[in-house]
Amino acid sequence: MPFIELKNITKSFGETKALNGISFKVSKGAIFGLLGPNGAGKTTTINIICCLLKQDSGEITINGIAGDGQDRIGVIPQDISMYDELTVADNLGFFGSVYGSRDLDLRMSRFIELVQLEDKFKSKVGTLSGGQKRRLNLAVGLINDPEIILMDEPTVGIDPQSRNFIFETIVRLKEAGKTIIYTTHYLEEAEKLCDYIAIIDEGIIIKEGTVSELAQFEQEIQLTTDCPQVISTIAASMGAYVNANGQSVKIRTSDAVKVITQLVQKSEGEGYKITGILVRKVSLEEMFLKLTGKRLRE
Ligand SMILES: Nc1ncnc2c1ncn2[C@@H]1O[C@H](COP(=O)(O)OP(=O)(O)OP(=O)(O)O)[C@@H](O)[C@H]1O
Ligand SMILES: [Mg+2]
């Protein structure tokens, strides 16, 4: 049974259909990436999972039970909302007390240490740098030590050092057994961090899989041959997408080995020569562009 499951979630804001029937499953202990451009529906999805928003239709289950488990969820929101006039300690104390004051001091020192802001404990939040605020935002979201962590673009607009620091923290959280849903419009982040990726655009999931599954989705074979027409006909008959230009033939397929084997086996019988073969994976960015006609970063 999947740990978290979304079934056919829809959500509209007036005329805008933000989510158009989103379904996905998240395994326990995984880092699940929700990858998509601006306005795709990432934040709406996160807000529905943590019950900040109510879906129009569809169901979310945690461990098979609907409407359960909100207290096990921590959210690191896209928009940082903390009190600039209060100190780091007071902000953490305030948000921490929402979940009860039991062990609060312990939780505060544990998470301030995790995000390495011990020396800023008594500083006003307004005096922190952008990267430090993002790190504190992380600590605030984690203060109730949740089992499920929703992170909405936690690295937007920060320096590379803070970004790496956040990556390392996420890896440590995974090692501690947490289940993480991570939204981003940075492809490299999703590839680097996530066990499983769902690509979202205009409120629907257009493709999903593990990083290697997504990368295998398309390969490009570049062949040089003395007989491009024959090669093109054979490859096209195998369902591949073919583009011939002079002696070079580009073939897009999800099974390069099968196409190459066929072409090489037939080459003797059909009397053509293959003089060069190059295979490359089509990047997720290219795949995304092909599926949606959009770049991820707009
Ligand atoms: N409160 C709201 N009122 C009206 N429209 C909204 C509201 N929240 C979201 N939307 C619309 O719903 C769609 C999805 O928005 P959402 O914030 O979920 O996208 P996103 O993938 O998080 O984008 P971004 O990468 O910019 O954060 C957009 O068209 C947005 O304008
Ligand atoms: Mg968003």
Query: What is the overall mean pLDDT for the chain?
Result: 90
Give the closest residue to 277 by CA, choosing from 254, 262, 260, 252: 260
- Closest ligand 1 atom, residue 43 Cα: 22
- At 159 the pLDDT is 85
- At 268 the pLDDT is 84
CB atoms within 10 A of CB 14: 5
Helix (H, G, I), strand (E, B) or coil at 258: helix
Residue 5 confidence (pLDDT) above 90 = yes
Choose the most confident range, by mean pLDDT, from 62-66, 157-161, 170-174. Answer: 170-174
Q: How confident is the model at residue 297 (pLDDT cuts 50, 70, 90)?
A: low
pLDDT in tens, 50-69: 999 999 999 999 988 887 77
- At 156 the pLDDT is 85
Q: How confident is the model at residue 296 (pLDDT cuts 50, 70, 90)?
A: low
Contact, 143 vs 76, CB < 8 A?
Answer: no
Strands (E) across the chain are located at 4-13, 16-26, 31-35, 57-62, 65-66, 73-76, 148-152, 179-184, 196-201, 204-209, 219-225, 241-245, 248-253, 274-281
Domain ranges of the chain: 4-214, 218-281
- At 39 the pLDDT is 92
Q: If you average pLDDT over residues 4-26, what whole number do you get? A: 97
Q: Which helix (H) or strand (E) holds 93?
A: helix 88-97
Residue pointed to by tokens 């011939």: 244
pLDDT in tens, 196-216: 999 999 999 988 999 888 876
Alpha carbon distance 248, 276 (integer Å): 9
Residue 221 confidence (pLDDT) above 60 = yes
What residue's CA is closest to ligand 1, atom 18?
A: 41
Residue 246 confidence (pLDDT) above 60 = yes
18 CA distance to ligand 1 middle (Å):
6
- The conformational region for residue 14 under phi > 0 = left, psi -120 to 50 = alpha, else beta, is left
The structure tokens listed for 199 are: 């690509």
- At 45 the pLDDT is 97
- At 290 the pLDDT is 73
Helix (H, G, I), strand (E, B) or coil at 50: coil
Residue 287 confidence (pLDDT) above 80 = no
- Reported as half-sphere exposure (CB side, CA atoms, 13 A), residue 261 has a value of 4
Contact, 76 vs 237, CB < 8 A?
Answer: no
Alpha carbon distance 243, 249 (integer Å): 6
Q: If you average pLDDT over residues 119-148, what whole number do you get? A: 92
Instruction: Return the CATH architecture of domain 4-214.
Output: 3-Layer(aba) Sandwich (3.40)
Which residues are close to ligand 2, an ion, with C-beta < 5 A?
A: 42-43, 78
Contact, 36 vs 52, CB < 8 A?
Answer: no
- At 102 the pLDDT is 81
Q: How confident is the model at residue 292 (pLDDT cuts 50, 70, 90)?
A: confident
The model's pTM? 0.81
Q: If you average pLDDT over residues 71-90, what whole number do you get? A: 90
Alpha carbon distance 278, 11 (integer Å): 45
- At 7 the pLDDT is 97
Higher-confidence position of 159 and 148: 148
Contact, 104 vs 89, CB < 8 A?
Answer: no
DSSP H helices in 146-244: 160-175, 187-193, 211-216, 228-237
Helix (H, G, I), strand (E, B) or coil at 288: helix
What residue's CA is closest to ligand 1, atom 16?
A: 41
Which residues sit with their C-beta closer than 6 Å to ligand 1?
Answer: 13, 16, 18, 36, 38-44, 78, 185
Instruction: Return the CATH architecture of domain 218-281.
Output: 2-Layer Sandwich (3.30)
What residue's CA is closest to ligand 1, atom 12?
A: 18
Helix (H, G, I), strand (E, B) or coil at 86: coil
256 CA distance to ligand 2 middle (Å):
37
- Closest ligand 1 atom, residue 44 Cα: 18
Q: If you average pLDDT over residues 128-157, what whole number do you get? A: 91
pLDDT in tens, 261-283: 999 999 888 889 999 999 998 87
Q: Which of 96-100, 137-141, 196-200, 252-256 has the lowest mean pLDDT?
A: 96-100
Give the closest residue to 30 by CA, choosing from 196, 274, 162: 196
- At 217 the pLDDT is 66
